[in-house]
Amino acid sequence: MPKYIFVTGGVVSSLGKGIAASSIGKLLEAKGLRITLQKCDPYLNVDPGTMNPYQHGEVYVTHDGAETDLDLGHYERFTHAVIGKENNITAGKIYYTVIEKERRGAFLGGTIQVVPHITNQIKQYLKAVTKGKRIDVVICEIGGTVGDIESLPFLEAIRQFRHDVGRHNAINIHLTLVPYIRAAEELKTKPTQHSVGKLREIGIQPDILLCRTEKPLNKKVREKIALFCNVEEECVVQAPDVRDIYEVPLVFKEQKLDQIIVDLLRLKCHQEDLKEWEEKVVKRALNPSKTTQIAVVGKYIELQDAYKSIYEALRHGGIENDTRVEIKKVDAVDIEEKGPEGFLRGIKGILVPGGFGDRGILGKIKAIQYVRENRIPFFGICLGMQCAVIEFARNVCGFKEAHSTEFNKKTPYPVISLLEEQKRIKKMGGTMRLGSYPCVVKKGTLTHKVYKKEEVVERHRHRYEFNNKYVEAMEKNGLIISGQTPTGNLVEVIELQDHPWFIGCQFHPEFQSKPDACHPLFRDFIRASLEAI
């Protein structure tokens, strides 16, 4: 039976529970253990796919087409765990399942209640994540902050779970904040004490505390936290601010967090170190010898989390090229109003990410025209690729009002449009073209040079497609279709004949990039940016 580590968070949100959970995963993998990670989100949406980035940040897409929380992206970047549909559960999904069962009459006249029906369903999902797989440890992160009404059923479920499986088969790790109060020149432990108190009220005693802090915890503070929170002193682990998130596993290892977990769970494993991660990722991320500037032209640029995987993948490209990637976040609406020149002059590469809705579209098109004409490396992803097609149709092929039917249903040149089967779909949740699909790469193209492969598999999340009616006209004018579905019915990648580096892809390569295994498109985009004048 697999062992379980439950990770909860207290005091405030945004302490980096996802990164902490991923780092624990990394440490255990380094000890030869097979792990997986799971996220429980307390909101009532069935999945975050229908949520606005302002509400939720990026929607991370798994290989099997689940639209999930962005923490799952951290899980895949830090570890080798294969993350799929079962790895993200939401209160919405739990209630939906239970209510459907009730409608089917599956409860035989019983009254359906949060305890035991919702909690039992949660426990079932906690187990389902290992079905058919050989997993030694499940690291399960509970979203939200302890004390929230919403997360109570999840906390009750994990309390029961530990009771069911026994104390050496499941442990609780609580991530908390130890703030430094400048006026008093002191680290304060009270918020942590209260947060642990809140957990104890519902029957959960944390085994390990991860303390987020700006200043190192001294012995006295550690002792105090240990005493009042009822944990061993060595189990008070500090999680200081780091220069790079990929350093976190090293910081934890230094404090022997991996050994503490192994002992608590009585795991059998061998001793390994994180040398490769340290050499290949952390050192290279911290001390690059070159610098490049990449502009990301999007509409959620003021949000840190909206393009999380894109920013990370750009950094991976930097790590591989021994380069610091300075990301300039440009609001497409600003380009719409003021033109591209002032924002993009001197930039070494621009990336236009995915998105929905027409705000900022014209700005993205103007930015693409600028980089096409000025021969600056361009990387368009999903909507970014669609905008590149629209720009090319308008400004090179002379199809003046070319557009995507997402933004103008009556355009005379619908160069991006819906497939027939998508037109029939009325429900919004989970109905896009989602997850991994194969793509055949055309030999002799830049795309082929980058991938060095004829078939690749990439993740998708979109409804609209390149309209095949325009393939011929576009090709005549110098656009190259460098990637297609194996049957040749859908365009997956485009590039330009007469440009140093111009690639647009309908899929999302950022979801498969890792700090120690950068996605080839990001690696080569950063390389090309270094050669840009």
Active-site residues, by number, are: 382, 508, 510
Task: Mark 126-155 with x for binding to ligand GLN (rule: CB under 6 A) and - for no binding.
Answer: ------------------------------
Which range of residues in 212-220, 306-314, 459-467, 469-477 is near ligand GLN by CB under 6 A?
Answer: 459-467
Q: Which is nearer to ligand GLN, 4 or 464 (CB)?
A: 464
Strands (E) across 396-501 are located at 403-404, 414-418, 433-441, 455-462, 464-466, 479-484, 491-496
Judged by CB under 6 A, the chain residues 71 through 130 that form the site for ligand GLN are none
The residue of the chain with the least Cβ separation from ligand GLN equals: 354
Which range of residues in 250-258, 264-272, 328-336, 462-470 is near ligand GLN by CB under 6 A?
Answer: 462-470
| Rounded Cα–Cα distance for residues 86 and 90 (Å) | 10
Angle at 462 between CA 523 and CA 54, to 5 degrees: 85
Judged by CB under 6 A, the chain residues 302 through 361 that form the site for ligand GLN are 354-356
For residue 133, give every residue at least 6 positions away whose Cβ sits within 8 Å of its Cβ, in sequence order, or none: 34, 36
Which range of residues in 122-130, 215-223, 316-324, 458-466 is near ligand GLN by CB under 6 A?
Answer: 458-466
Q: Residue 36 corresponds to which tokens in the numbers above?
A: 């997986």
Q: Give min distance, CB of 492 to ligand GLN, in A.
A: 13
Among 462, 499, 519, 523, binds ligand GLN (CB under 6 A): 462
| 406 is a site residue for ligand GLN (CB under 6 A) | yes
| Rounded Cα–Cα distance for residues 374 and 499 (Å) | 9
Q: Is 226 helix (H, G, I), strand (E, B) or coil?
A: helix
Q: Which is nearer to ligand GLN, 2 or 57 (CB)?
A: 57
Q: Give min distance, CB of 383 to ligand GLN, in A.
A: 3
| Rounded Cα–Cα distance for residues 99 and 96 (Å) | 5
Smallest CA-to-CA distance from 169 within 95, 246, 265 is with 265
Q: Give min distance, CB of 73 to ligand GLN, in A.
A: 15
| 493 is a site residue for ligand GLN (CB under 6 A) | no
Q: Give min distance, CB of 461 to ligand GLN, in A.
A: 5
Q: Which is nearer to ligand GLN, 463 or 514 (CB)?
A: 463
Q: Give min distance, CB of 354 to ligand GLN, in A.
A: 3
Q: Is 432 helix (H, G, I), strand (E, B) or coil?
A: coil
Residue-wise burial string across 399-409, b where 16 or more C-beta atoms lie within 10 A, e elsewhere: beebbbbbbee
Length of the chain: 533
Place of tokens 């609001």: 331
Q: Give min distance, CB of 353 to ligand GLN, in A.
A: 7
Among 395, 463, 500, 530, binds ligand GLN (CB under 6 A): 463
Judged by CB under 6 A, the chain residues 243 through 272 that form the site for ligand GLN are none
Q: Residues 242, 247, 250, 252: is their CA dihedral positive or negative?
A: positive
| Rounded Cα–Cα distance for residues 49 and 68 (Å) | 7
CB–CB of 415/467 below 8 Å? yes
| Rounded Cα–Cα distance for residues 344 and 286 (Å) | 26
HSE-CB for 104 with a 13 A CA cutoff:
7
Smallest CA-to-CA distance from 28 within 242, 206, 271, 277 is with 271
HSE-CB for 21 with a 13 A CA cutoff:
33
Q: Which is nearer to ligand GLN, 29 or 58 (CB)?
A: 58
| Rounded Cα–Cα distance for residues 305 and 238 (Å) | 25
| 466 is a site residue for ligand GLN (CB under 6 A) | no
Task: Mark 362-401 with x for binding to ligand GLN (rule: CB under 6 A) and - for no binding.
Answer: --------------------xx------------------
Q: Which is nearer to ligand GLN, 127 or 359 (CB)?
A: 359
Q: Is 440 helix (H, G, I), strand (E, B) or coil?
A: strand
Q: Which is nearer to ligand GLN, 60 or 246 (CB)?
A: 60
Q: Give min distance, CB of 506 to ligand GLN, in A.
A: 8
Smallest CA-to-CA distance from 468 within 434, 418, 424, 425 is with 418
Q: Which is nearer to ligand GLN, 93 or 460 (CB)?
A: 460
Q: Residue 14 corresponds to which tokens in the numbers above?
A: 């945004």
Q: Which is nearer to ligand GLN, 190 or 423 (CB)?
A: 423
Q: Give min distance, CB of 301 to ligand GLN, in A.
A: 15
Q: Give min distance, CB of 483 to ligand GLN, in A.
A: 16
Q: Which is nearer to ligand GLN, 196 or 505 (CB)?
A: 505
| Rounded Cα–Cα distance for residues 153 and 131 (Å) | 23
Q: Is 326 helix (H, G, I), strand (E, B) or coil?
A: strand
| 464 is a site residue for ligand GLN (CB under 6 A) | yes
Q: Residues 187, 191, 195, 201: is their CA dihedral positive or negative?
A: positive
# binding residues, ligand GLN (CB under 6 A): 10
CB-count burial class (<10 Å; 0-12, 13-18, 19+) for 381: buried
Please confirm whether the linkage preceding 500 is cis (ω < 30° from 0): no
| 24 is a site residue for ligand GLN (CB under 6 A) | no
Q: Which is nearer to ligand GLN, 354 or 483 (CB)?
A: 354
Judged by CB under 6 A, the chain residues 201 through 230 that form the site for ligand GLN are none
Q: Give min distance, CB of 465 to ligand GLN, in A.
A: 7
Give contact residues for ligand GLN (rule: CB under 6 A): 354-356, 382-383, 406, 461-464
